[in-house]
Amino acid sequence: MKNWDFTDFFTFDYNKKNDYFKVIINIDNRANIYKILKERGFGFLKYRNRLLYFRKVDGIYNFITLQDFEYFFLRDFLEKELLLKSKIFKAKDFEKLFNEIVSKEIKLVKNDNLFKYFLYKIPNEKDLHIINLKFDFQYKIDYENKKFIDFFEKNEFRKVLDLKSNISKGNLVYYKNLKSKEYIVFNKIGSQYDSWIAKFNKEMDIGNAMPVYIKCLKLNFDLKNDYNFLKNYLK
């Protein structure tokens, strides 16, 4: 890995005698800025006629703004990382650099052709799935719903239309016998599933009669985080 220093990212015109200090970012400097950003997981992609800027860390996408690219490079990389190991820059030099960038409104990151060359990403199928879950509400609902349907099939739940039980009247409910007359029941309301422990005199009453007893197990059930509520029942 290259040992970077400030002169890789900036060209300086500095006259110590009259304290003249000027910062230039040439094409090579800017390319190096974009290389660092790419190394640290920054990039952008096109999604349904819009640009999405991101930073990907440990496989997780964080969607950000273009200004976040600059903030990371200036504050996190230059000030908190590079300055500590620089052979040519000290804190007072960074202060001059920072003031010059701010006062002259020097753009560290531009959405130019060089930026596109280094940081454009074509999303693969896995990327698109993650992005759809984030930005497509209906896609997320359909995906979560399929996970529940697969779960019900795997664990041999049955389904019935709730006509009179008032658990989710007019909608499908999914149930599984636990013991004797006790059942675990799931109903879907909107985009979420709620779970219950209910007692019916007979299986045919599910959906056709009010339960003898019903207790809420977990509202807005999450298969990943709430499975502990179920595992003792599904043994």
Are 93 and 190 members of one domain? Answer: no
Please check whether residues 164 and 108 belong to one and the same domain: no
The answer to whether residues 34 and 103 belong to one domain is yes
pLDDT confidence of residue 17: 63
Say if residues 53 and 109 touch (Cβ distance below 8 Å): no
Q: Which pLDDT belongs to residue 193? A: 94
pLDDT digits (tens, 9 = 90+) for 48-83: 999 999 999 998 999 999 999 999 999 999 999 999
pLDDT band at residue 1 using 50, 70 and 90 as cut-offs = low
**Where residue 16 falls among pLDDT bands split at 50, 70, 90?**
low
Residues 154 and 118 in one domain: no
- 124 and 156 in a single domain? The answer is no
**Domain count of the fold of the chain:** 2
Is 1 inside a domain boundary? no
Cβ(38)–Cβ(73) under 8 Å? no
| Domain-ending residue, one of 135, 159, 179 | 135
pLDDT grade, residue 40 (50/70/90)?
A: very high
**226 and 173 assigned to the same domain:** yes
Is 20 inside any structural domain? yes
Half-sphere exposure in the Cβ direction for 22 (13 Å, CA): 6
Dihedral (CA of 135, 136, 142, 145) sign: positive
Q: Do 118 and 20 share a structural domain?
A: yes
Last residue within a domain, chosen from 135, 162, 188: 135
Final residue belonging to a domain, choices 112, 135, 158 = 135
Q: Which domain holds residue 124?
A: 6-135
